[in-house]
Amino acid sequence: MDYAVSVFNGIENPDGFLWNTMIRGLGKTKQPEKAFEFYKRMQERGEVADNFTFSFLLKFCGQLGLVMLGKQIHCDTMKHGLESHVFVRNTLIHMYGMLKDFETARRLFEEISMPDVVAWNTVIDCHVCCGKFKEALDLFLRMLQCGIDPDEATLVVTLSGCSGLGELDFGRWVHSCIKGSDLSKIVSVSNSLIDMYAKCGAVEEAYEIFNNMKRKDIVSWNTMIIGLAAHGHADEALAVFSSMLQEKIETPDEVTFMGVLSACSHGGMVDYARRYFDVMSKDYSIQPTIKHYGCMVDALGRAGFVEEAYQLIRSMPIECNAIVWRTLLAACRVHGYIVLGEKVRNHLLELEPGHSSDYVLLANMYASLGQWSEMAGVRKVMQDRGVQKTEPGNSFIGLHGRTILETETEDGYKDKNTACTPWLQ
């Protein structure tokens, strides 16, 4: 972009196309704020912004999380009479979705008299990104009722909504609607189906789609590996990874190794975890992230190599976060490492002094060894500091026409309750 700026500055009277080209290019750099500087220069030079200018700027506002600036650019679109332009309106909906303001995004969508498929896709995606999965699926049904044919983007965001809500029946219905069609042959759609089935617990159906794919990309392999690993199918996950290496079509990336290390952790395969952790950096030049270290700490901790997990954290070239320390604290509790557990809790107190589960884990550790006075001491410290237990987390999973409610306790365990839910008509 430095060369592009140099050439641009040498043009006496750049037209709107060149200004837009520079704004779009600068927005893709590591300093996207320069795109807004060019927009200001464009205004000062008296050049009139068009629908492309605003589409680029609104997109950058959403990506950068710039709420106030996004609203200012929105006002500019109104001043220029471009708020209702199809490109600008769709980008506005998209921006507010990325800014988690789904209400404004929905209002802008509802103002469109005859929304096209892009508008529908954008508003559905907006609701999915904001965690409003049920509303997203309702919008999809409404789209079909309006006679709009879905495209691959529609299916990808809708299936993502099914995954988020655990709506296996809805996902199966969507799958049945596209079976045998050209849409079912698109790689991104197949990947979304694999992800949906895996996250809803139907791993066999996910695996069937994966095996029937004529062409797979890196996302296909990663989704299948992670899906198998998440449900405890460690051997199958590693077998898929081996097949990927043998085919030599796709090169594993950092997400691949996340799935592989997770599989090793769930399967208790510590030696494999150590091996793949080394292979990742030595053979593929992938620098481990905090998530990779977290998987290794989990694998070592589950298998009882708690001291080794602690040393791994201490040797990390990046700062350890509370999640990884908490993983180690849980392992200390399971395997009775009281002294190390106290050290780990001290690290956690520096990072998140008000997190209740750290106190609970240490108190339970003392209780499991019959050290009641120490347990009472932890509870008293917790009370003196005003630390409150967090509310349990809930998740809903659709299964065979029922909704299974999972309630996560403070120790990470899950209680299941079932409630009837109407079958999708």
pLDDT tens for residues 302-324? 999 999 999 999 999 999 988 89
pLDDT at 114 over 90: yes
**45 occurs within a structural domain:** no
**CA-CA distance, 234 to 262, in Å (whole number)?**
8
Read off the amino acid at residue 76. D
**402 occurs within a structural domain:** yes
Give residues with Cβ within 8 angstroms of 235, minimum separation 6: 267
Q: Reduced to 3 states, what is the DSSP secondary structure of residue 398?
A: strand
- Per the structure, the count of domains in the chain is 1
Residue range(s) defining the domain that contains residue 415: 391-425
pLDDT tens for residues 325-371? 989 988 988 888 888 888 888 888 777 766 666 667 767 666 766 66
**249 occurs within a structural domain:** no
The model carries a pTM of: 0.80
**405 occurs within a structural domain:** yes
**404 occurs within a structural domain:** yes
**395 occurs within a structural domain:** yes
User: What does the pLDDT read at residue 347?
Assistant: 85
Read off the amino acid at residue 7. V
**CA-CA distance, 361 to 375, in Å (whole number)?**
10
**413 occurs within a structural domain:** yes
pLDDT tens for residues 29-78? 888 889 999 999 999 998 899 999 999 999 999 999 999 999 999 999 99
pLDDT at 96 over 90: yes
**Beta strand 414-420 pairing with 402-408:** antiparallel
Return mean pLDDT, the chain.
Answer: 87
Average confidence (pLDDT) over 266-276: 94
pLDDT at 417 over 60: no
**75 occurs within a structural domain:** no
Residue 406: band (very low, low, confident or very high) from pLDDT cuts 50, 70, 90: very low
